Structure 1
Amino acid sequence: MGHTIIRQRRDFSSFKLLVIAIALGTMVSGCSSTSSNSAPVADRSASKPKRLAVTSGQYVVRPGDTLYSIAFRYGWDYKALAARNGIVAPYTIRPGQAIRFDGRSSTPASTGTSTTVVSSSPSSSSKTTIIKRPVGAPATNSSTPAPAPAPSATPASPPPPAPVVTATAPAQVPAAERAVGGWAWPASGVLIGKFASNGSLNKGIDIAGDLGQPVFAASDGSVVYAGSGLRGYGELVIIKHSDTYVSAYGHNRRLLVREGQQVKVGQTIAEMGSTGTDRVKLHFEIRRQGKPVDPLQFLPRR
């Protein structure tokens, strides 16, 4: 009888230990499961949008545009874009004019159809929409679909290819050009952003400063754009220094120069601000034949 009671107690104790072990195993398993189901860490650096250069299609000039600002926006050398569109110096363009990127004639051929080009606003996508309609037919509102043309014995012209975009590659600057002087810092302040050569958004440098502090021309040149029509740059100044180089100064509070004005290195051209960005800073770019290059290759050490 006594042996039976002892054996039962041992069996009961073993059973309790088994229950506790199972419970602990379940808890450990639950913790492990919870850990494995935690939210993944996303690598946002790989998903940053890249600035693209349009190599097909066309753009309709809007009031305030210049050939230089269009070339800057789409990653072109202004001379190459002018040559492609048969535009000669002093590179005057007019609102409503079509600027092509693919080498085709901007004047529609006489094939029984005309081309209406609908361009997006500066604050939206840079893609263009091309609508074919019969010659003599009234233009339709761009927001209302055009009615299908009546059947004709002559087949309609095939639609133009969709705009092709390629990543803008940074230009390689010859050592001889980098050694040439004449460049100065466009503002005083802390360097908070450096040039990125991997196709990301930063195609220049960022200099932090105080609201309203002066922004200087980095070299002698002529102002070819002064305005806020380029998305992401805020109040922007573009200066042409030669047939090869232009510089850009973005996010200003106020512009102090006008298009066509000649400026000297060190001349105040704007007041630093935060237009088009989230803090007071100057975004500064140098472009060689339309392609961004690292400004630190040109600016003196400090």
Structure 2
Amino acid sequence: MRLFLPALVMIAFLAACSSGGRVAPVHHLGAVPHVGPRPSHYTVRRGDTLYSIGWRYGVHYRTLAHWNAIRPPYTIYVGQKLRLNSPSKSAAKPKQASENKKSVTKSTASPPLTTVKAVPVKKALSPERPTKVAHGIRWYWPTQGEVIQNFSRTEAGRKGVDIAGELGQPVVAVADGKVVYSGRGLPRYGKLIIVKHDANFLSAYAHNRLLVSKEGDSVKGGQKIAEMGRSGTDRVKLHFEIRHHGQPVDPLRYLPE
């Protein structure tokens, strides 16, 4: 019994030490626009556009513009306080929005469905493959590689598809449009490009190494706009999303076979 007690004391001591030690942090590297309930307001920061703010909080840019009495070309200002939810009738006063606009400093940044269950896909992709016309838009694949993660309507970080590839390989616009965001101001997206295709559809290309196109550029489907990288993630890949009326949809519904 005397020999057994010291061993028990030593085990208890080691257990106490281990329980007080540090726990390795867990980093979530998926492309998550915003976690938790949407706040009621957002204060514009340098580099923001109405499109990038709408993307982050899952609101159509035209809806944000309507809620905040902002007219095309949707110019916003550093320090401007934007409403992120529908205002009450008594609060929706254009005069207040005008006064708010006068009290802030102009930003140096450029102005700014129903889903289906994803099916596991493993195939080679290429921008040279045939296009597909859907909703009046001719769609291309955004890059060449294997789809390593599919879309999920419910799981965080899976609001698009992930495509594996090589560092520096071309990333192309999936359809004709205009670049409305080019930068790395959205958390967990790394170097990101957002392209507006029409009044309803936007597409986004995340984790790039190099952004070739800048805000305001008009691009054609199949045109190189970036180079694949690993910015904001743990491996080289492209995270690609399509938004319809501000909401994520499965890109595989629109891209060609």
Q: Report the Cα offset of residue 200 of structure 1.
A: 2.4
- Highest relative contact order (Cα 8 Å, sep 6+), 1 or 2? 2
Counterpart among 192, 195, 208 of residue 148 in structure 2:
192
**Per-residue Cα deviation, 1:185-214 (whole angstroms, up to 9, x for no partner):** 000011101001224221000000000000
Rounded Cα–Cα distance in structure 2 between residues aligned with 1:236 and 1:280: 14
| 1:213 counterpart = 2:165 | no
Rounded Cα–Cα distance in structure 1 between residues aligned with 2:209 and 2:33: 26
**Per-residue Cα deviation, 1:96-132 (whole angstroms, up to 9, x for no partner):** 1111113245949xxxxxxxxxxxxxxxxxxxxxxxx
Normalised TM-score (structure 1) = 0.59
Query: 1:34-53 residue pairs with structure 2 within 5 A?
Result: 51-52=34-35
Rounded Cα–Cα distance in structure 2 between residues aligned with 1:83 and 1:179: 24
**Per-residue Cα deviation, 1:256-298 (whole angstroms, up to 9, x for no partner):** 0110110000000000000000000000000000000000000
Query: 1:121-160 residue pairs with structure 2 within 5 A?
Result: none
Query: 1:104-115 residue pairs with structure 2 within 5 A?
Result: 104=91, 107=96
Rounded Cα–Cα distance in structure 2 between residues aligned with 1:226 and 1:54: 26
Identity %: 50
**Which letter does structure 2 place at the counterpart of 1:98?**
K
Rounded Cα–Cα distance in structure 1 between residues aligned with 2:43 and 2:33: 23
Q: What is residue 187 of structure 2 aligned with on the other side?
A: 231
**Per-residue Cα deviation, 1:151-175 (whole angstroms, up to 9, x for no partner):** xxxxxxxxxxxxxxxxxxxx3169x
State the structure with more CA Rg.
1
Structure 2, gaps ≥5 residues long: 1-29, 98-112, 117-132
* Alpha-carbon distance change, 299 to 90 in structure 1, aligned in 2, over 3 angstroms: same
Q: Report the Cα offset of residue 57 of structure 1.
A: 1.5
Normalised TM-score (structure 2) = 0.69
Query: 1:159-198 residue pairs with structure 2 within 5 A?
Result: 171-172=113-114, 178=134, 180-198=136-154
**Which letter does structure 1 place at the counterpart of 2:160?**
G
Rounded Cα–Cα distance in structure 1 between residues aligned with 2:66 and 2:207: 31
Counterpart among 273, 278, 289 of residue 234 in structure 2:
278
Rounded Cα–Cα distance in structure 2 between residues aligned with 1:215 and 1:295: 15
Structure 1, gaps ≥5 residues long: 1-47, 109-170
Q: What is residue 76 of structure 2 aligned with on the other side?
A: 93
Q: Is the 8 A contact 1:207 1:281 kept in 2?
A: yes
* Alignment root-mean-square deviation, CA: 2.8
Q: Is the 8 A contact 2:209 2:231 kept in 1?
A: yes
Q: Is the 8 A contact 2:33 2:56 kept in 1?
A: no
Rounded Cα–Cα distance in structure 1 between residues aligned with 2:211 and 2:205: 10
**Which letter does structure 1 place at the counterpart of 2:62?**
K
